[in-house]
Chain A
Amino acid sequence: SSELTQEPAVSVALGQTVRITCQGGNLRRFYANWYQQRPGQAPSLVMYGKDNRPSGIPDRFSGSISGNTASLTITGAQAEDEADYYCNSRDSSGDLVVFGGGTKLTVL
């Protein structure tokens, strides 16, 4: 079982805004990080910490945290954003990595 909870699936109309959430008690101690995984590819980091984008990630991606819920927001979703998104953080011991179950984003 995952210590982080994500909604299994979310859809968004092309050009609209979508928020994907990741909930877990440990997020009050540790930040969540976010990964995009397109079919047949390895996951790729798109957001880390509170709101930090790796080089090359478009600024339509943003992150936030409120209480025990981290969010990844895509403002003006594009067709290429259709993918699975996973959050990760630390377990209650602070040593081990944990993942959310993933959210399948569909861009309509």
Chain B
Amino acid sequence: QLQLQESGPRLVKPSETLPLTCTVSGGSLSSGGSSWGWFRQPPGKGLEYMGNIYYSGRTLYNPSLKSRLTMSVDTSKNQFSLTLNSVTASDAAVYFCARIGGVATFGGIIHPWGQGTLVTVSS
């Protein structure tokens, strides 16, 4: 059974960089047709797509975050990561990683999700 787990700092200072890693177990990052995504949810608000990365390293980013966001994949560790630069209070959120699967017409089936990690931005 595929499982994903986020890890990283719970507290980040304004203007600094947020690094998060998602470890995949019970399956491989090279699963055919899948990509691996990051999502976030500010307290009390809805879900936001941040971006996704394929096993090949191809990335797709939400235009609103593109200038600050970098994603990478480490196939040897079965992990994928994000770094978000120049964080502000508006970046405080629960961050989720997940697999995005299904053929294109299925609109991006996001399953399974990691449990999420709460990130606070404060000096």
Give the chain B neighbours of A21 by CB distance below 8 A.
none
Residue B26 at the chain A interface, CB threshold 8 Å: no
> Which of A31, A32, A102 is close to B47, meaning CB atoms less than 8 Å apart?
A102
Q: Which chain A residues numbered 60 to 88 have a C-beta less than 8 Å away from chain B?
A: 86, 88
A89-B108, A90-B104 as given contacts; A44 in contact with B46, CB under 8 Å: no
A83 to chain B, nearest CB (A): 13
CB of B46 within 8 A of CB of A31, answer no
- A99 adjacent to B48 (CB under 8 Å): yes
Once bound together, how far apart are the Cα atoms of A30 and B102, in whole Å? 11
B109→A96 contact, CB < 8 A: no
Contact yes or no, A33 B113, CB < 8 A: no
- Chain B residue, CB-CB nearest to A102: B46
Interface residues on B, range: 20 to 34
Contact B109 A33 (CB under 8 A): yes
Give the residues in chain A near B102, CB-CB below 8 Å: 33, 48-49
Q: Please measure, in the bound complex, the distance between the C-alpha atom of A96 and the C-alpha atom of B108, giving whole angstroms.
A: 9
Nearest A residue to B108, CB-CB: A97
Other contacts beyond A33-B110, A43-B110: 14, CB < 8 A = A30-B104, A30-B105, A37-B47, A41-B115, A42-B113, A42-B114, A42-B115, A88-B49, A88-B107, A90-B107, A94-B104, A95-B60, A98-B49, A102-B47
- A selection of 21 A-B contacts at a CB cut-off of 8 Å is A2-B46, A30-B106, A31-B106, A31-B107, A32-B107, A33-B106, A33-B107, A33-B109, A37-B47, A42-B113, A43-B110, A44-B113, A48-B111, A49-B106, A88-B47, A89-B108, A90-B107, A95-B60, A96-B49, A96-B62, A101-B46
- B interface, CB within 8 angstroms of A: 37, 46-49, 52, 60, 62, 96, 100, 102, 104-116
